[in-house]
Amino acid sequence: MGFILAAIPFFLLAIAIELWFDKRRATGYYQFNDAINSLQLGTLSRIIGLLKAAIPFSLYTLIYQNYALWQLPESSLLVWLFAFIAYDLGYYWVHRLSHRINVMWASHVVHHSSEEYNLTTALRQTSTPALFAWAILLPLAFFGISPMLLISCGALNLIYQFWVHTRHIDKMPAWFEAIMVTPSHHRVHHALNRDYIDKNYAGVFILWDKLFGSFQAEKDNINIVYGVSHQLKSWNPIWANFKVYRDLLTDTLNTQNWRDKFQLWFRPPGWRPQDVTDTHPRPWVTTKSLIKYDNQLSYMSKAYILFQFVITIALSFFLLLSASNFSLLTNVLLCGIAMFCLFATSTLQEQKPASFLFETLRIILVSSTVAYFSPAEIQGTVGVVTLCYCLISLMGLLILKRKQQRQTLSLAPTQSLANEAEN
């Protein structure tokens, strides 16, 4: 089992503990829709990672096997320490370029799109690759760091970064703040505030930021605002992964300058050709104008969405554990079903007109899939459980739909009077 997969239960436990602290302290660092969306994006990232695993790590492996200067033993603790530090240096530059090159930002922006900052934000990971990451990490193959050791160091690096996504921990002891990335450092990195933009890229060792001039300590007199200047304004995890790519493609098609069509993809985030800026302005927000995106949901809607999302997480976790037992085609099919489940949940959050149709399809699809893939010896029991789940879910969905219809009808007379008053 991979390090990240093994850590998932502990991540969820830590989130539950932080949520309890948040409620106890009444700090309001959690927003229901935002937290669910972050978890959706984390789930989608792991699912897509399953498909990425089917693609050979060919170039890195080729260089390691044929051109490595040394064959470093994976059993050595010193080799692991060297590989971990070397990977963190590579991560620093991948991360820094992800904030300075449009096409890389299009992938990384997913992690910054949340307008809250809590432990669920750590799981808000992209499902698309950072385009030039391979080139930055490729030298590690020449130094004899095996592909598996590189992947392991990457996983440990990501696990370390989980705990720094919190507002409930103030500054750590001075010696620790001087060497390691801390919640204080990483809050700066996620901030929309002008003083904090493009600072503190390091994953584990803050020393890299101090060495390469990108360090910024957290200031006591600044109220941090989180998010990005071009708001996502959606709970759809699929759209979150492709919005900036779509924006770049649209600008590429709209600009008349052929040089701009090319350089747009490699310019810093926010740069747009002048003719496109003039003819197709795009709204952006600042720390003063940002209004957090949200949809007001009833307690019953939240309970229903949370219940269904827990089911989706459980099934996705089972898929990740069982993937090696299935064929590539089966894994692709199951990943597609999981992606549709996440999409359907987002339509409920956004209260889309077709949400009840998508949700009905999702319930039937999940029930059928679980029943089909269950072991033969327990198919009877599983069949009864899935039937009960299906009936309870459809009943809950029907109640939600009727409640929404009653609310719509009750608001109609008020809206009619408002229109008459305007006339």
Q: Could you report the per-residue pLDDT of 142-189, keeping only the tens digit for each?
A: 999 999 999 999 999 999 999 999 999 999 999 999 999 999 999 999
pLDDT at residue 34 is higher than 60: yes
Q: State the pLDDT at residue 80.
A: 96
The pLDDT > 70 percentage for the chain reads 95
Confidence band of 422 (pLDDT split at 50, 70, 90):
low
**H or E, element range at 315:** helix 299-322
**Highest-confidence range of 20-29, 280-289, 317-326, by mean pLDDT?**
20-29
Phi, psi of 250 (to 5 degrees): -60, -45
Confidence band of 59 (pLDDT split at 50, 70, 90):
confident
Q: Which segments of 236-298 does DSSP mark as H helices, in order?
A: 237-254, 258-263, 274-279
> pLDDT by residue (tens digit) across 181-201?
999 999 999 999 999 999 999
pLDDT at residue 407 is higher than 80: no
| 8 Å CB contact between 246 and 360 | no
Q: Which residue has the tokens 């899939």?
A: 369
Q: Cα separation of 41 and 124, whole Å?
A: 5
pLDDT greater at residue 128 or residue 377: 128
Q: State the pLDDT at residue 3.
A: 87
> Averaged over 219-242, what is the pLDDT?
95
Q: State the pLDDT at residue 410.
A: 66
**Whose CA is closest to 317, among 50, 18, 37, 129?**
50
Q: State the pLDDT at residue 5.
A: 86
pLDDT at residue 415 is higher than 90: no
Joined together, the tokens standing for residue 403 give 């409640």
Residue 262 CA, distance from chain mean position: 28
Confidence band of 411 (pLDDT split at 50, 70, 90):
low
Range in 48-57, 60-69, 206-215 the model is least confident about:
48-57
What's the helix, strand, coil split of the chain in %, to 5? Answer: 70, 0, 30
Share the mean pLDDT of the chain: 92
Residue partners of 242: CB distance under 8 A and separation at least 6 = 128
Q: State the pLDDT at residue 417.
A: 45
Q: State the pLDDT at residue 56.
A: 62
